[in-house]
Amino acid sequence: MTTSGLRSRGTEGYEATGRTLLPGVALIAVTFGLARYGYGLLLPELRSEFALSEGLAGLIASATYAAYLFANVAVVVLMKRYGARATIGLAAALAAGGMMIMAVAANPAVLTVGVLVAGAASGLALPPYSGLVATRVEPRRRDRVWPAISSGTGWGVALAGPVAIVAGDRWRLVWATFVVVAVGVGVAAVLLAPRKESGSARMPQLSPSWFVCPKSRPLLVSAVLLGLGSAVWWAFCVDALREAGHDPAAARIVYAVCGAAGILATAGGSALGRWGLRRGYLISCLLLAGAVALLGLALGHLATATAAAILFGVFYNGTLAVQGIWSSRVFAEHPVAGLAAVNVAVTLGTLIGPALAGIGADRFGYGPALVGAAVVVALAAPFCPPSARRRRRLAEHRCRAAPVRP
């Protein structure tokens, strides 16, 4: 191959990577950082406006994850039938629509509808980019591009905090601002996404025999436990700090710091290259548990709570990066369906976490509820990526799985 041909191929590779990476980060920031986790950021104002108890607030938060679960089941069909571009556009539209409904909500029922619509957006956003990374990004770059995309949550949270601080108690204005951002990001993401490729996709049958086997079982169990524990943080962090006596701006600064720290996970690919997937998972999982416990034990101390937020932001996004890379290896033939399966497992945990934590907070307070969530996160540590010896044994395993439809 000529030098000019190599240069052309390299340029095309960088362009494809950029057209996947930048809109991916932005869309995850909108669908996760704003549409999905904005509820927790604005929960004190929403509770005051609609007279919500901790228990009811937790049930509404769980509704977000119910919609996320449904969307993760639907996304494989949508990708097969309509392709990545249409699925990405629908994710952005649901994020904007859900946040608009919340902005105009006059009662808890309408608010819950908005939460459901916005929650579905995040379920549609991430799996398409798993497929795009697998097909458009060169193999040597994938372990760096994927952590960067998954760290989009941190960018969204880092943006949401300052907007909420400036807006004060005008929570409807916050949602309206997020809607404008969602529309702009959605248009750009759709324009940069590839058109549907004809005839190349196959849709796996998402039966238990397809995605639950010795190779995938630890990944799916860890996803349930990590989802359950981390959802409690996102749902109640700001409200717990407010209940502990901190003013609204301080509580939101802690929230924004968590998002800004999460951006550091952009460098997760390099760290995982040094540590390895197994060690990176264990470090991220245990320090994530420590962060949740630290917040629960130090709600009254703002500096300590801020340190907990930094730890949580970095290592929450670290666990997301590990799970995305781990999933792409376990489900290498069908990364979109594989990541959807992992997200379903995460959602089973997140459906339970806020509801139980809300009930626990009603009875015992936020501190014990957060410490309980930390214990659940720590229980995910044994369900880690396999050791070298275990990988050799798994390589010999042949799953008796359901066939894949052409």
| Rounded (5°) CA angle 32-356-216 | 60
3-class secondary structure, 204: strand
* Per-residue model confidence as pLDDT tens digits over 344-382: 788 788 778 887 888 888 888 889 999 999 999 999 999
* Per-residue model confidence as pLDDT tens digits over 46-59: 988 998 887 888 88
The residue among 211 and 199 whose pLDDT is bigger is 211
Question: What is the pLDDT, as a whole number, of residue 274?
Answer: 66
3-class secondary structure, 213: coil
Q: Distance (Å, rounded) from C-alpha 105 to C-alpha 111?
A: 5
Give Cα 103 distance to the centre of its chain.
23
Residues 6+ apart with CB under 8 A from 376: 225, 228, 229, 349, 353
Q: Distance (Å, rounded) from C-alpha 246 to C-alpha 197?
A: 52
* Per-residue model confidence as pLDDT tens digits over 231-283: 888 888 888 998 888 988 888 888 888 888 877 766 555 555 566 778 888 98
Cα Rg of the chain, angstroms: 20
Question: What is the pLDDT, as a whole number, of residue 9?
Answer: 45
Question: What is the pLDDT, as a whole number, of residue 189?
Answer: 93
Residues 6+ apart with CB under 8 A from 97: 117, 118
Q: What are phi and psi of 343, to 5 degrees?
A: -65, -35
Give Cα 58 distance to the centre of its chain.
18
Question: What is the pLDDT, as a whole number, of residue 196?
Answer: 61
Compute the average pLDDT of residues 118-133. 85
Asked if residue 164 has pLDDT above 50, the reply is: yes
For the chain, which domains are there? 16-194+204-397 (1.20.1250.20)
Question: What is the pLDDT, as a whole number, of residue 80?
Answer: 80
CA distances from residue 22 to 88, 152, 193, 194, 280 in whole angstroms, order as listed: 14, 10, 11, 14, 25
Question: What is the pLDDT, as a whole number, of residue 326?
Answer: 82
